[in-house]
Amino acid sequence: MDMVQIAGDCKGDDCPKVFTTDRNSIAVQGDLVTAVTTPEGEAVVEIPRAVWEEATRALGR
């Protein structure tokens, strides 16, 4: 899968980020949330609101 970073608040590999993909989807990198039970193969991550707002601006919304 090819991904392009559209939002994130630092340049390193371990920071919250939002990507678009070549599969017409959005991928999110953030801190793992363990307070929610998810099916195998899925996860919930948390990102700062400012990163989400940056992503929506980058998407023209």
How far is it, in rounded angstroms, from Cα 30 to Cα 55? 14
pTM to 2 decimal places: 0.83
Answer yes or no: is pLDDT of 10 > 90.
no
In the numeric block, the tokens 């992503």 are attached to 55
Answer yes or no: is pLDDT of 12 > 70.
no
Question: Of 8, 42, 3, 1, whose CA–CA distance to 19 is shortest?
Answer: 3
Answer yes or no: is pLDDT of 50 > 80.
yes
Contact present, 6 and 55 (Cβ < 8 Å): yes
Q: How far is CA 13 from CA 22, 29, 57, in A?
A: 20, 9, 22
The percent of residues above 70 in pLDDT, for the chain, comes to 95
Answer yes or no: is pLDDT of 5 > 90.
yes
Integer Rg of the chain from CA: 12
